[in-house]
Amino acid sequence: MKKLAILLATWFGCGYAPKGPGTAGSLGALLVAWPLRHQAPWFFALLALIFLPPAIWSAGSMALQTGKKDPQIVVIDEVVGQWIALAGAATYSPWAWIAAFALFRAFDIWKPWPVRQLESLPGGTGIVMDDAMAGVYAALVLYLAGWNNLISKLLYGIS
């Protein structure tokens, strides 16, 4: 079980990236999501929800193994957050994916309320939930941008 926790928590080694392991984890999430890009947007929210318990377990396990509250090598939290961000995209164009990536990373780094506060939850829950909330913020921005685009097209004929 220890090896499984390491494999999941580091998202198959992405967490060992020498620079920007969180960014590597987000890119690893996109790599897995790309073949599934033709699914409905809610599919990625469901995928994140399915991975939430194993993410919390593996992140908590790694925290215990390393003796650190939030080890840098743990990136499964970025995977969950990135998939949530993708759920907000109205379309799965490369630009929407780039926006989902950039917005998620920005909210994950900036940590607006309550993202930073969620870090104080115990164990793996705190490690994962702040990134999940950053993903929710990114998804909301993407979703609202999609509605804004739709409204502009309807009202002004802008394409």
- Quote the pTM value: 0.91
pLDDT digits (tens, 9 = 90+) for 58-87: 999 999 999 999 999 999 999 999 999 999
- Domain around 123: 2-156
Tokens of 87: 């759920």
pLDDT digits (tens, 9 = 90+) for 31-40: 999 999 999 8
Nearest Cα neighbor of 1 from 58, 45, 56, 50 is 58
Tokens of 73: 């090598």
Helical pair 123-156 and 76-86, crossing angle rounded to 10 deg: 20
Number of domains in the chain: 1
Contact status, residue 116 vs residue 66, Cβ threshold 8 Å: no
